[in-house]
Every structure is written in structure tokens, then in C-alpha cells.
Amino acid sequence: MLVHWSLAAIHLLAFALGFWAVLTRGSAFSRLAAGTADAGRVLIADNLWGISAVILLITGGMRAFGGYEKGTDYYLHQPLFHLKMTLFVLVLLVELAPMITLIKWRIASARGTAFDTSRAKLFARISHVEALLLVLIVIAATGMARGMTFG
């Protein structure tokens, strides 16, 4: 029982961290685009966003498919779980461009070379869309927790 509770708590806290981190990254991108901040803030927030994503993947996988919650069959036949996973895949897809760019920034920074910040404003918008998608995932999760079904 303690493991179930711990996994649920860690999973929810990772959502909170991820939400804060992706919003902070979006704000840092906006300030970078306006010339009022440096890329360091973006990279720190992105690190936290990445850490939260790893925690969410591990704890979510354990909860859904590791026998710690309602069971794999329940999740695979729950429409709100499919909605959550669709939203999660959407987050991953829109995250690809910022992720690849920030990896390049880290490489350039380690080499002491300049990097292109021209898409910072776009990445700020993407970060804020990702925050909205996280909110929708949490809404779907609360529906699942309450046994909501459609059909």
C-alpha cells in the first residue's frame, strides 16, 4: 500500500514540477527573445522539465503496467487513458524542436561557440502550449480516478 501511495504522490509531484518548469522555460525563452535574459535560465528550466518527464514516464509506467494500480487491462480499455496518452504523445511531438535545439545549444556552449536564439519566441509559445497540454492530462487523470467512462 505504501508503494502505491508513494508512486501516486511522486507522479503528481512530477506533474507539478513539470508544469512549473515548462512555464518557467517559456518565460525564459520570452525574455531571451526580448533580450532581457540569457540562455542559462532557459537551460536550467529545461533540465527540470526533462527530469520531471523522466519521473512521469517511470512512475506512470509502473502505475499503469507494473501492477501497482488498477491493472493493465483497466487502462487499455479506459478512453480517458487513451486521451492522456494521446496528449502525452502530442507533448512529445511539439517538444522535438525545442529539445533538439537546446541540445545543440548545450553542445555549442560546451565548445564556447555562439548559438542561434532566433526561434526563442516560437519556443516560448511551444512551452506554454505544453503547459496547457499538461493541464488537460491532469483533467483526464482526475476523470479516470473518479471512474468516468464514455460509452
Instruction: Note the pLDDT of residue 71.
Output: 78
| Mean pLDDT computed over 87-94 | 96
Condensed to tens digits (0 to 9), the pLDDT of residues 115-144 reads 899 999 999 999 999 999 999 999 999 998
Vertex 14, ends 9 and 20: CA angle to 5°?
130
Query: Whole-angstrom Cα distance, residue 145 to residue 18?
Result: 20
Contact status, residue 29 vs residue 127, Cβ threshold 8 Å: yes
| Packing angle of the helix pair 39-65, 79-111 (nearest 10 deg) | 150
CA-based end-to-end distance of the chain:
31
Instruction: Note the pLDDT of residue 20.
Output: 98
Instruction: Note the pLDDT of residue 151.
Output: 60
Condensed to tens digits (0 to 9), the pLDDT of residues 50-86 reads 999 999 999 999 988 887 777 788 888 889 999 999 9
What are the residue ranges spanned by the domains of the chain?
Answer: 2-145
Q: What is the DSSP string of 66-117?
A: SSSSS-HHHHHT-HHHHHHHHHHHHHHHHHHHHHHHHHHHHHHHHHT-----
pTM, rounded to two decimals: 0.90
Cell of 116: 542561434
Query: Whole-angstrom Cα distance, residue 72 to residue 51?
Result: 25
| Mean pLDDT computed over 107-117 | 92
What is the share, in percent, of the chain residues with pLDDT greater than 90? 75
Query: Whole-angstrom Cα distance, residue 108 to residue 26?
Result: 21
Instruction: Note the pLDDT of residue 3.
Output: 87
